[in-house]
Each structure stands twice: as C-alpha cells, then as structure tokens.
Amino acid sequence: GAVVSQHPSRVICKSGTSVKIECRSLDFQATTMFWYRQFPKQSLMLMATSNEGSKATYEQGVEKDKFLINHASLTLSTLTVTSAHPEDSSFYICSAKGVSNEKLFFGSGTQLSVL
C-alpha cells in the first residue's frame, strides 16, 4: 500500500527556536496533504489542508504565521513551527491523499517537546 514518511519522529527544542517537520509520499503523488495535531489521549484536530503549489487552508483558530506550511512538490509537504513555546508541545501527524486514491495515508507522527 501507499507509504507516507514523516520525519523526524521525535524532536526536543528550546523555547524560541523553529522546528521543521517533513511529510513525504513515497510511492504516489500527493495532491493534498493534511496536518493534524493530537494532544495526549485525545483525537486528531485538523490544523490545515495543503494543496500542491497553492497556499494552505488553515482551520479556525490555527495561526498561519505560527505554523508555516509549504507544499512545494507532489511528494513533499513541510510544517514549520516558528518560535516554538512549551504550549506547542504536541504530537503532529501528516496525511496524504493522491489524485486517484480514495484513501488517506498517514505518517507515523512527530512528537514535539519544547523546553
């Protein structure tokens, strides 16, 4: 089946630094990628939807300047958490959907810890 690679799987950073998370579709072209945030023992909350070559669509309450999303190619989307603070600590998950694919494939997630 289709594979989505998310990297890094875990990152620890100091408050005020920026962190970039990559999401790659390995064997299909992902026209649409989604970024989710998940708090411990809770469900996934959609942060934004990105389509290749266009600006991401952010959900209400998600700061565009805080969470920068770039989907420059059909196989790569990145999420950059800028000037991270402890409250940004969370599990971030990406998912990808291809043109001819009804299914949604998930990355393995990134655990971000901001000290």
Partner 1 sequence: TQLLEQSPQFLSIQEGENLTVYCNSSSVFSSLQWYRQEPGEGPVLLVTVVTGGEVKKLKRLTFQFGDARKDSSLHITAAQPGDTGLYLCAGERSSGTYKYIFGTGTRLKVLA
Q: Which of 29, 49, 82, 89 is in the footprint of partner 1 by CB under 8 A?
A: 49
Q: Is 68 in the site for partner 1 (CB under 8 A)?
A: no
Q: Which of 7, 2, 3 is nearest to 77 (CA)?
A: 7
Q: Which of 42, 73, 83, 113 is in the footprint of partner 1 by CB under 8 A?
A: 42
Stretch that binds partner 1, among 14-22, 65-73, 81-89, 93-101 (CB under 8 A): 93-101
How far, in Å, CA of 73 to CA of 87, rounded?
30
CA angle 75, 89, 69 (to 5 degrees): 30
Q: Is 106 in the site for partner 1 (CB under 8 A)?
A: yes
Q: Which of 14, 41, 87, 100 is in the footprint of partner 1 by CB under 8 A?
A: 41
CA angle 73, 26, 1 (to 5 degrees): 135
Q: Please state the φ and ψ torsions of residue 15, each to the nearest 5 degrees.
A: -60, 135
Cβ nearer to partner 1, comparing 44 with 76: 44
Cβ nearer to partner 1, comparing 83 with 113: 113
Separation in Å, CA 74 to CA 30, 50, 70, 90, 111: 5, 11, 11, 26, 24
Site residues, partner 1 (CB under 8 A): 4, 6, 32, 34, 36, 41-46, 49, 51, 57, 91, 93, 95, 97, 102-109, 111
